[in-house]
Structures are given as structure tokens and as C-alpha cells.
Structure 1
């Protein structure tokens, strides 16, 4: 997920054009869902607000010295994933979600997870990786996990400890503001990618009509694996700091 060089990615599409296209896509899909499931105006408004907040973050981080840089096909896929997250955010305005909406949310989240495997491959294939794209990808992953946790608490009456699954990453980033060695870059690992994928998959499965025991098993296992992953990363970063490796700002 990365910024494309001229002639690659989405031909001739700047960030502004891509974000406007994303807005039109969001409006069409959310309007269709609102009509199909009788979701109401609050749903539509929440979805739009979520997208505008994401757009503000993209605009703030986009390279200011290259405003005409093409958005890139990989970033476009990530933007599509962000739209999926916005569609899920809207369900938080509903009093309850019935069986049909449960499958709708699970389906949107599942598609978002599947697309997560596409953006990185596209970026590597076209040679258009960038710090912006990596950060964009990471933030969409984190936001999806956080929103799914909130959905489970709001609509499934799950204990608030489930929010820890989504909050741990933000706590880690916050701790990095106080301890600079936590901001050192981490090498990507199969373990980290696998655990991140499992977090989302477990949360999606927890949305489905399982027994309480099965749902709690999924959520507890997701939290324990996440704690293990963060603990391993923190130990690795601390060891590097103790060995004198300088800490630099990363995209985490």
C-alpha cells in the first residue's frame, strides 16, 4: 500500500480524485444498505462521518511536497478496506442488530480481511512501497479490529475487557511517546502477520451465532496471542535499545 510513481497504480488519479471516488463509492453502497436493511439516517450519517475523519487523516499525512502524486492501486485497495470499516462503524448507531445484519457485518469484515492480502502484494509487484502506504495499511487494520471489538461490546453485551484487543496497539503507540526506544522500527515477521490475521478472523467469527463458550474462547485466544506478540516485540526493542541501537520513528 504505497504511493505510486507516475505511470503506475491508478492511471492519472491523484489522491484528491481517489478520495472523491471513494466518497462516491461509500455514498452509493451505504445508501443501498440503508434502503435494503432500513438502517435509518443515523447509520448513513455515521458512515459518512467516519469516512471524512479517515480522509482528514490521509490528507494530513499525504506528502505535501508532491500533491499531484498518483494515489496508487495498492493505496486504492486500502481505501476500499477503509470504506468497509466505515460501513461497520454505522451499525453502532443501531439499537440492535438482527441475524441479517450480523451476516452483513461479518461479510463486510470478511471482505476487508481478504483485501488485506492484496494491497501489499500489489505494492511489491509494482515497486511502489512507501512509508505512507505502510502506515495507511496499519491504521486500517487497527481501526477494523477496534471497531469489531466495540460492535461486540455494544451489540453482544460482551465484557468490556474485549476492548483490550483493539486498544493494545494504541496503548503501545502512546507508550512510544514516552519511551523513544519503543518507536524503533520492527522488522515484519510471519508471526506478526499471522497473529494480526487471526485477531480479525476471531472477531469476525465471534459475530456469528455461536454459543457463549465458543465466542469467549475465540476472544480469549485472540487477546492472549496479541499479548504474546506485543510482549515479544517489546522485549526485542528493549534488547536493541540496551545494545545501543538508536531508536527512530517508525510507522507503527
Structure 2
């Protein structure tokens, strides 16, 4: 038995202090380059869940470049067999996200301020600009029983405003930390995220995190940033899975979480 399997046999994945939600967008991106239906998004998700991932994340964009609407419904059906795991659907609520949320009613909707053709998420919400437009959509999700997380930059002063809008959590946009990892700026970036997470916790919000987190930088992040309830990891995890396989990769990320919190 390897060290990861040994740790998980002592502490089941479901009880880990930080949940791992696997973003399967990149599986769909590869599939969409041909018309053969492979690799399978649902099979990838199933293997990740079997390996101990606590959730599955998708970000269906309006242009359908990776996850498509049918994928969301197929994954919704799969998740019925995993009632203790969570389905997180990300996207811009001013584009295509809300209609999907109304139909699927996932456990969590993460509002991300992407433009329609944006290459990848690269900034958090400007609440001075968009807060009042977000308020009724947050309320609608919560009325549907869907937890709402807002994708945010690590700005402590913004956290009270997130709470005032009625959101349940934030997702810290972590690319600046990932870019600084291993360099002199790493400590400064970690302090930014620590302060933002603490401000969120003080405001009564849950804290999620994601973007460019990987097996190298995840442990340092979780050791320094308090109260992270969930990390959503896609690109690096799927890249690792090309070499290691889905199950071994998920277990390796769970081992990082254990190492950080243990």
C-alpha cells in the first residue's frame, strides 16, 4: 500500500478538512477535437469520485469550447449515485449559467465574471460595478437550495460586501499565488490570501480557492491560508492524470491536503 492509500485508509476522503472538487473541463476540451466521444467526461468524473474526490466542477462557457450543456445533464445523472458528493457549476450568471442552474440545481454555483470569449478566468468580481446586478441572482440560487460562491481577488476589504449581497462563500482566484510560488514574492502573496481568507471567515463566509493550484504549490497554500473548505482543480490535475491516471492523481492531491492539514 502506498503512503497516500495508507493515509486515506485512516482518514476517509469525505472527512478531509478541505474538499477536492475536480474540474473536468479539460477532458471535454480533448474530446471536442474529434467526433468520437472520447475521452468520456462522465467516466473521468466517475473515476475521480471513486478515488475519493469530494466533488466535480464544470464551467460551461457560452461558446461550448469544452463542457457542453449535455455534459452538465449527464454529470447531474451521475452525481445521483454519489449523494454525499457535490456538483459545482461555474460561470457568468449574466450569460448562460442561470438557466443551467435552474434546471440542474447543483449543490453549488460559482459566479465568475468572465467575458463570453475569455481564454480563462483571470480576475474576481468588481462588486462596486456588478454587486447590485448579482444580488437578485444570488437570492434566486439560494431560493433554489443552491449555495453561491463568488470568484474574488484576495482583497480583504471586499469580503463584507460579498456577505451583504447574500453569497455563502468566496472562491479565491489563486493564479497570482501560483505564479509567485517558489520565488521571493511567494510569502507576500500568501499573506494577501491569508488576510483575505481571514476577512471572509470573519464576515461569516466560507472560503474556496482555485486556479493554477497543483501538487507542488497546494500544500504551502493550505498551510498558510485559514479555513479553506474546498479547492477546485482542473488543468493541473487533468495534466497529471495523463501520466498517472485519474485515480492515482486524485489520491495524490488528497495526500497534499492531508499533508497540509495534518
Q: TM-score range by the shorter chain?
A: under 0.3
TM-score (norm 2): 0.25
Q: Looking at secondary structure, tell me which structure has more helix per residue.
A: 1
Question: Normalised by the size of structure 1, how large is the TM-score?
Answer: 0.26
Higher strand share: 2
* Structure with the greater alpha carbon radius of gyration: 1
